[in-house]
């Protein structure tokens, strides 16, 4: 029987770092679902065709962590046909043994609503923009504006808006270091595994 951990939240909240740590700790496979959308956006051309023909090589591109790829991902993620093309892939991934960790924007609400554990990792826009600025550099005010712009687009899209699942455990990393946030996630998962 597989065990699915759904980790959602906005950009630069720490969900990717937490997801990788959870996968390593519990021996689960990990999928950063945002990479799927980043790869579709980065491929260019018709986004629906790009989603239907996505390959592992597309997910290995060096430029998928850039701010431009993140913005492109947010733009193609609002297209229902793109979302539909990538949903089946994510659900197959989630069903593998002994378990899987998927992080994204709608894992607990849409992709895996029956996940055994649902976490919603968040932080203030200012904290997240500062983290992104430390990672990528550039103009700090512009980075904050882009984070807010992306939040607005992700939270207000008609199809699968970014929001915590009703039964998600919220982890606000605004004032936590990564070790504290990871420890909280481990605790939630261990409790669920022991039930």
Q: Residue 53, annotated ligand binder?
A: no
Q: Residue 43, annotated ligand binder?
A: no
Q: Residue 9, annotated ligand binder?
A: yes
Q: Residue 10, annotated ligand binder?
A: yes
Q: Residue 15, annotated ligand binder?
A: yes
Q: Residue 16, annotated ligand binder?
A: yes
Rounded to the nearest 10 degrees, what angle do helices 33-43 and 80-94 cross at? 140
Q: How far is CA 31 from CA 60, 98, 110, 137, 191, in A?
A: 12, 14, 16, 26, 22
Q: Residue 27, annotated ligand binder?
A: no
Q: Residue 113, annotated ligand binder?
A: no
Q: Residue 138, annotated ligand binder?
A: no
Q: What is the CB-side half-sphere exposure of residue 156 using CA atoms within 13 A?
A: 6
Report the alpha-carbon angle 63-123-35, nearest 5. Answer: 25
Which positions make up the binding site? 9-17
Which positions make up the binding site for ATP? 9-17
């Amino acid at each position: 029987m597989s065990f699915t951990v759904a980790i959602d939240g906005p950009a630069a909240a720490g969900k990717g770092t937490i997801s990788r740590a959870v996968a390593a700790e519990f021996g689960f496979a990990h999928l950063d679902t945002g990479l799927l959308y980043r790869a579709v956006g980065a491929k260019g051309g018709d986004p629906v065709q790009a989603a239907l023909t996505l390959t592992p090589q597309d997910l290995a591109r060096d430029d998928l962590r850039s701010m431009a790829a993140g913005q492109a991902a947010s733009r193609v993620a609002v297209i229902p046909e793109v979302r539909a093309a990538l949903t089946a892939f994510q659900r197959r991934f989630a069903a593998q043994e002994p378990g899987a960790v998927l992080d994204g924007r709608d894992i607990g609400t849409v992709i895996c609503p029956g996940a055994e554990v649902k976490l919603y990792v968040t932080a203030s826009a200012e904290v997240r923009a500062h983290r992104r600025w430390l990672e990528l550099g550039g103009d700090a005010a512009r980075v904050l504006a882009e984070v807010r712009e992306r939040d607005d687009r992700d939270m207000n899209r008609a199809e699968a808006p970014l929001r915590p699942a009703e039964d998600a455990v919220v982890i606000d990393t605004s004032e936590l270091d990564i070790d504290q946030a990871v420890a909280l996630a481990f605790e939630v998962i261990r409790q669920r595994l022991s039930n």
